[in-house]
Amino acid sequence: MTAVQEPKKLEVPEGHVTLVIDDVEVVAPKGELIIRTAERLGIVIPRFCDHPLLDPAGACRQCLVEVEMGGRPMPKPQASCTMTVADGMVVRTQRTSKVADKAQQGVMELLLINHPLDCPICDKGGECPLQNQALAHGRADSRFVDVKRTFPKPINVSTQVLLDRERCVLCQRCTRFSAQIAGDPFIELLERGADQQVGTEATSEITALNKTSEGKEFASYFSGNTIQICPVGALTSAQYRFRSRPFDLVSTPSVCEHCSSGCAERTDWRRGKVQRKLAGNDPEVNEEWICDKGRFAFRYATAADRITRPLVRDKATGELVESSWTEALRMAADGLATARDAKGAGVLTGGRLTVEDAYAYAKFARIALRTNDIDFRARAHSDEELSFLASSVVGTTPENGVTFTAIENAPAVLTVAFEPEEEAPIVFLRLRKAARKNNTAVFHIGQWTTTSVTKTSASLLACQPGGEAAAIEGLATHAPDVVEALRKNGAVIVFGERAAQVPGLFSALTKLSAETGAKLAWIPRRAGERGALEAGALPTLLPGGHPVTDAAARAEIERAWGVDEGTLPAEPGRDTSAILAAASNGKLSGLVVGGVDPNDLPDPALAREALETLSGNGFIVSLELRRSAVHDYAHVVLPIAPSVEKAGSYLNWEGRRREFGTTLEGTGALPDGRVLDTLAVEMDVDLFTQTPASAAGDFARLPSVNDSSANGSRPSMLEVPAAQVPSSLGGPSALLATWRQLLDNGSMQDDEPALAGTARPVVARVSESTARALGLNGTATVSTARGSITLPVVHADLPDGVVWLPADSGDSTVRATLGAGHGDIVTLARGEAS
């Protein structure tokens, strides 16, 4: 007997099976689809309807393979996109099975008989799965000599999505995306057989049956994804249609600059112009989806009012005139130095900076202006929020904080003062996925049953605007089941920028978290806020998160920065409102503004007054991409680069670094950090932020609150009692609930009419009984001493005596017109007939 060498056995981990694909033995996790296992082996099975993030459909039949189970061949070829692997299974794909190959060729031929083959004029040509797979798995010639089915084309699914039904292979990716991922059934399959088609209520012959109750067209914030996942050229983008060929484009990985999710994107550009943006694939963050704002809103960077040359105010005429960088920087440096040495100068950075640029502002404030008067919060804010950010948010990372994945896997999620679909659409998608796939219990403390509530199958805990803190404190008595759910391991509490408008909310949430163990997640609306917090663009925190009052941290930073001991101011500075108040009272002489719209601020009038005052008696430097509201008051305007023309990184709400390189090189536009660096040199200070890379390197050398020892210097949370809300307001007085909609008047959505066409209608919402009590006849006028807004009324399940307005949509500019915010008292009356 000769020793026979045992064949090498594959190790099969728990929960895995072994199978053979094309004669190769492979181990696969139970439940994996054959098509994915094959893919891991490098065997690509052609497919159309299959998409890893959508539920299997088995509709296109392109991925047929031969399967043998327990030694017995199955009588028919099987769709590898719907069949899961099993132990002992033998799979033969088109590579080793004539039957599978013929089946695939047959399906391909059938798919093409009614396809118009208009590739030369199709946007998808060159990146089309149908084109590619037809070349790989199809016949060279067609046997079809009869009459093709035709449709009028294209039709508008929405203002931004166009549908060509002739090209459609009816894979149902778009309809499944809408129904499963977004929860917006704005498109559906209509008719049957060869007449089956994707359509909307507008294209259906039975329109009356398909209308929503309000008779409006369905709309979606995520419709652009259907264009990207369409495996043929059936869905095309109104914005990109006929713009270019995919092979003429340069693709650069990028990060979305709009909200705090930090989605991975791919920016496609040609001859110095961005042509389109696509979702990147980042399973940890946005999976393969982005919202329509992230996809379509990019032309703001090339708007007509873009500033490309420095401007200085001509002393004689009082007008801003173009100047050289040298002249502008000298004027700015002189003006700021004078202001600093008079009553000081403050810095308002806005919420949209990269970490590197925010760091440059923070460092500039500390060593060039020698002040802690710096705040990134260009929105309603509070000391309580500042204290919460310092004690609980700064320094958290995906390793120790809440993440997208944590939300997906959470047993329970409570959202409060946060409208996921409007404020962080990708968080909304994850929340919906959690509810849909993992049965996550979602609770929403808000005012009415919004789409975020219905589409995440959430339970609404209704409260009055401003009453959120009291609602949290009352949970134990009124909704003990919610508290119980939050005690489960992995539960999460999510809240947004609106929390700063509700006194006591951060304190109540901190207590609730301590009591239940649920983790807190602060999800700001703007892309730059989380990074600016870390970079120290706040009156109380140093870059790295240590309090400005921490002498040891100050000393360490002084050493790292190479500045004299005692250079860094030790006293906490003023926040945004205090800076503006000081400026209008003549207690501040200068201001550096990096992209702030007074109308976003809690008191736009105060902001204007401050700018007015400084414009006459002080000094304002404005760093602008486009002509802003500060422009008219500024003494020097310095142009800066939009995100597509610079490198850098955002910290998303998870605290995850989202680094990106320069997409459009050599435009001459400079990032804020570079401008500030040069300005500082003029003031005899070195920032070392010439490039984003050097700024990042400089920042990385600083002590972080994260790596402090146990006796770290995190300040404790300020305790603020929950605001008491009047239980019933008499007569025409009403409480205002308000937040921003995703698509609104925001200046970064300018020049995108197709995108704007999908914005939600601008209406006021009140309860039916309130509308009846006040005799609202279809329109309502909401007013304060400052002004009034008149809008059509829609009834919703709001508490009585509450009116909801979109914060900045169309004519509904709440801060600018009313000077009021969420939770304030307004007057509600029947709308004046216009």
Partner 1 sequence: MTEPRKPAPVTPVLTKTWLSPRSWTLDTYTKLEGYTALPKALKASPEQLVQLVKDSGLRGRGGAGFPAGVKWSFMPPNEDKPHYLVINADEGEPGTCKDIPLMMADPHSLIEGCVIASYAMRAHHCFIYVRGEALHCIRRLNAAVREAYQAGYLGKNILDSGFDLDIVVHPGAGAYICGEETALLDSLEGRRGQPRLKPPFPAAAGLYAAPTTVNNVETIASVPFIVNGGSDWFREMGTEKSPGPKIYSISGHVEKPGQYEAPLGTTLRDLLELAGGMKDGIPLKFWTPGGSSTPMFTAEHLDVPLDFEGAAEAGSMLGTTAVQVFNETVSVPWAVMKWTQFYKHESCGKCTPCREGTYWLTQILERMVAGNGTEADIDTLLDVCDNVLGRSFCALGDGAVSPITSGIQYFRDEFLALCDKQKAAPALAGAQA
Q: Give residues in contact with partner 1 (CB under 8 A).
A: 56-62, 64, 75-77, 82, 102-103, 106-107, 109-111, 113-114, 143-147, 149, 169-170, 189, 191-196
In whole angstroms, how close is the CB of 57 to partner 1 at the nearest point? 7
Question: Looking at beta carbons only, is 106 or 819 nearer to partner 1?
Answer: 106
Collapsing DSSP to helix, strand or coil, 666 comes out as coil
Residues 187, 188, 191, 193, CA torsion sign: positive
Question: Looking at beta carbons only, is 144 or 515 nearer to partner 1?
Answer: 144
In whole angstroms, how close is the CB of 434 to partner 1 at the nearest point? 19
Indicate the length of the chain as a whole number. Answer: 834
Question: Looking at beta carbons only, is 169 or 402 nearer to partner 1?
Answer: 169
What does the alpha-carbon distance between residue 411 and residue 362 come to, in Å, rounded to a whole number?
39
Sheet harboring 345-348: ordered strands across? Answer: 320-322, 311-313, 636-639, 619-624, 590-593, 345-348, 374-375
In whole angstroms, how close is the CB of 128 to partner 1 at the nearest point? 17
Question: Looking at beta carbons only, is 107 or 782 nearer to partner 1?
Answer: 107
DSSP code string of 203-230: TSTTHHHH--TT-PPP--SSTHHHHHH-
For the chain, the C-alpha Rg in angstroms (whole number) is: 29
In whole angstroms, how close is the CB of 155 to partner 1 at the nearest point? 18
Nearest to 150 by CA among 187, 197, 207, 206: 197
In whole angstroms, how close is the CB of 83 to partner 1 at the nearest point? 10
What is each CA distance from 431 to 266, 267, 436, in whole angstroms?
Answer: 24, 27, 8
- 778-781 long-range CB contacts below 8 Å, 24 or more apart? 778/831, 779/830, 779/831, 779/832, 779/833, 780/828, 780/829, 780/830, 780/831, 781/828, 781/829, 781/830, 781/831, 781/832
Question: Looking at beta carbons only, is 111 or 336 nearer to partner 1?
Answer: 111
Structure tokens at 618: 């002080």
Question: Looking at beta carbons only, is 58 or 398 nearer to partner 1?
Answer: 58
In whole angstroms, how close is the CB of 111 to partner 1 at the nearest point? 6
In whole angstroms, how close is the CB of 241 to partner 1 at the nearest point? 27
Torsion of the alpha carbons at 805, 806, 810 and 814, rounded to the nearest 10 = 70
Structure tokens at 628: 């802003």
In whole angstroms, how close is the CB of 51 to partner 1 at the nearest point? 14
In whole angstroms, how close is the CB of 70 to partner 1 at the nearest point? 17
Angle between helices 604-617 and 576-584 (to 10 degrees): 50
In whole angstroms, how close is the CB of 235 to partner 1 at the nearest point? 18
Question: Looking at beta carbons only, is 146 or 832 nearer to partner 1?
Answer: 146
What does the alpha-carbon distance between residue 458 and residue 157 come to, in Å, rounded to a whole number?
29
- Whether omega before 120 lies within 30 degrees of 0, making that bond cis, reads no
What does the alpha-carbon distance between residue 422 and residue 152 come to, in Å, rounded to a whole number?
35
Please list, in sequence order, all residues whose beta carbon lies within 8 angstroms of the beta carbon of residue 227, skipping any fewer than 6 positions away: 161, 235, 236, 237
Question: Looking at beta carbons only, is 48 or 633 nearer to partner 1?
Answer: 48
DSSP code string of 267-281: EEEETTEEEEEEE--
In whole angstroms, how close is the CB of 23 to partner 1 at the nearest point? 24
Question: Looking at beta carbons only, is 108 or 582 nearer to partner 1?
Answer: 108
Question: Looking at beta carbons only, is 218 or 619 nearer to partner 1?
Answer: 218
Question: Looking at beta carbons only, is 164 or 645 nearer to partner 1?
Answer: 164
